[in-house]
């Protein structure tokens, strides 16, 4: 009989975009059951969310302590979907009760708390994983073997992620997003994704960082950033923004090597474009034969010709996470999964990124 992984959901009410996304993707895998939840501090929203997510009335809790007390033995993990700066106490309570954790990225909003959480969770030897959903795109997965075998020695890369949420008049940003704390929300929201892609492709983090960041909005939060990254043998650039009108979520990846380059864009996720240094252009997609991931139907809901995208990628990450529980592994083997160590490394680099924008010049990063 196939084992179903029982989950508690903390945060992620039905009025939260990320909450609804996680719930849809969790359910779509067929590998999880939402056993219980504490979805919002607002009692009405909490109850409404439980109903919409098909959670029994007696399994909807109005505080974390009661959920842990009554459901500790009934769940395999808790999925934490609250804002980054609210997670320290939640993680602490879950870890103290030896409850495995799946977290929305990034796992904390400050380096100080991230280090504390790292020590607590590591001492308990529980499973910890986060959901960097872009890693679930087959086109993203296909880049990894290209980096290893086809584009030659890496020279440089350019990753961009412009959005319009601050300048778009129809935007409805949550209040917690409109205040910067230890690490600016822009970095936590967007740069964390770009760093996850860096590690996934190159299996290393930058040694040094330089950053020019700006704030051009009435909320006085950082809304635009240009980052230079120095690695052992190559360089890279990030541009990420929330003040770019017309850019809804324009993630693009370009990697340049001695034998060629490649390009992938979020608004055209089923096509990976390779340019060799003889001028040849190759489009790799679901009909291509010589590839490993982009033509593999197990990563898609629908057959070729029916566009797949964001939810499929998110679901692929949850499928990878499910294997941790089914095989009872604390350390992940699938590259789609970012464990406790990698989550701490990303927060550490984001902290350095913020300091670099104030100090100027090259700033050394610290990872474990």
The tens digit of pLDDT for each residue in 17-27 reads 999 999 999 99
pLDDT above 50 for 1:
no
Mean pLDDT of the chain: 92
Three-state secondary-structure class, residue 334: coil
Mean local confidence (pLDDT), 72-89 = 95
pLDDT digits (tens, 9 = 90+) for 127-170: 999 999 999 999 999 999 999 999 999 999 999 999 988 887 77
Domains of the chain, first to last: 5-134+319-338 (3.40.50.720), 135-300+347-359 (3.30.360.10)
Mean local confidence (pLDDT), 31-44 = 97
**CA distances in angstroms from 277 to 151, 235, 291, listed in the order given:** 9, 19, 20
Residues 116, 207, 345: CA angle, nearest 5 degrees: 25
Quick one: pLDDT at residue 256?
98
Percent of the chain with pLDDT over 90: 78
pLDDT digits (tens, 9 = 90+) for 181-225: 889 999 999 999 999 999 999 999 999 999 999 998 888 999 999
pLDDT digits (tens, 9 = 90+) for 270-309: 999 999 999 999 999 988 988 888 888 888 877 777 677 8
Percent of the chain with pLDDT over 70: 96
pLDDT digits (tens, 9 = 90+) for 337-364: 899 999 999 999 999 999 999 999 999 9
Quick one: pLDDT at residue 2?
59
Tokens linked to 354: 């913020």
Beta bridge partners of 156: 235, 256
**CA distances in angstroms from 7 to 46, 66, 73, 100, listed in the order given:** 16, 15, 11, 10
Give CA–CA dist 228/221, Å, rounded: 21
DSSP codes of every residue in 150-200:
TS-SEEEEEEEEE--TTT-TT----GGGGS--SS-HHIIIIIHHHHHHHHH
Tokens linked to 157: 């890369």
Q: How many CA atoms lie within 13 A of 179 on its CB side?
A: 7
Res. 334 pLDDT band, cuts 50 70 90: low
pLDDT above 60 for 333:
no
Could you tell me which of 116, 86, 119 has the C-alpha nearest to residue 103?
86
pLDDT above 90 for 75:
yes
Mean local confidence (pLDDT), 54-64 = 97
Quick one: pLDDT at residue 161?
97
Quick one: pLDDT at residue 263?
98
Report the relative pairing of strands 363-364 and 32-38 from DSSP bridges.
Answer: unpaired
């Amino acid at each position: 009989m196939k084992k179903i992984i029982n989950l508690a959901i903390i945060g992620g009410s039905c009025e939260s975009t990320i909450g609804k996304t996680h719930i849809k993707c969790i359910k779509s895998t067929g590998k999880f059951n939402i056993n219980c939840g504490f979805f919002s501090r607002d009692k009405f929203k909490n109850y409404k969310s439980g109903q919409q997510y098909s959670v029994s009335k007696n399994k909807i809790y109005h505080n974390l302590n009661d959920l842990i007390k009554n459901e500790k033995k009934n769940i395999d993990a808790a999925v934490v979907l609250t804002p980054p700066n609210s997670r320290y106490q939640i993680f602490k309570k879950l870890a103290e009760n030896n409850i495995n954790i799946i977290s929305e990225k990034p796992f904390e909003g400050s380096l100080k708390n991230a280090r504390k959480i790292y020590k607590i969770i590591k001492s308990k030897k529980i499973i910890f994983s986060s959901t960097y959903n872009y890693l679930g795109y087959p086109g993203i997965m296909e880049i990894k073997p290209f980096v290893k075998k086809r584009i030659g020695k890496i020279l440089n890369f350019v990753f961009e992620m412009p959005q319009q949420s601050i300048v778009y008049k129809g935007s409805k940003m949550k209040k917690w997003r409109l205040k910067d704390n230890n690490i600016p929300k822009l970095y936590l929201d967007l740069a964390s994704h770009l760093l996850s892609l860096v590690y996934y492709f190159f299996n290393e983090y930058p040694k040094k960082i330089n950053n020019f960041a700006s704030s051009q909005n009435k909320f006085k939060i950082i809304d635009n950033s240009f980052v230079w990254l120095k690695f052992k043998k190559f360089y890279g650039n990030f541009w990420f923004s929330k003040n770019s009108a017309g850019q809804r979520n324009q993630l693009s990846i370009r990697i340049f090597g001695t034998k060629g380059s490649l390009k992938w864009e979020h608004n055209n996720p089923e096509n990976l474009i390779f340019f060799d240094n003889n001028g040849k252009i190759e489009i790799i997609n679901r009909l291509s034969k010589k590839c490993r991931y982009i033509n593999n139907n197990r990563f898609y809901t629908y057959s070729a010709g029916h566009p797949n995208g964001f939810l499929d990628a998110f679901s692929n990450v949850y499928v990878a996470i499910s294997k941790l529980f089914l095989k009872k592994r604390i350390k992940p083997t699938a590259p789609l999964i970012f464990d406790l160590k990698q989550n701490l490394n990303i927060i550490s680099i984001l902290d350095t990124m913020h300091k670099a924008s104030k100090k100027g010049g090259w700033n050394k990063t610290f990872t474990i």
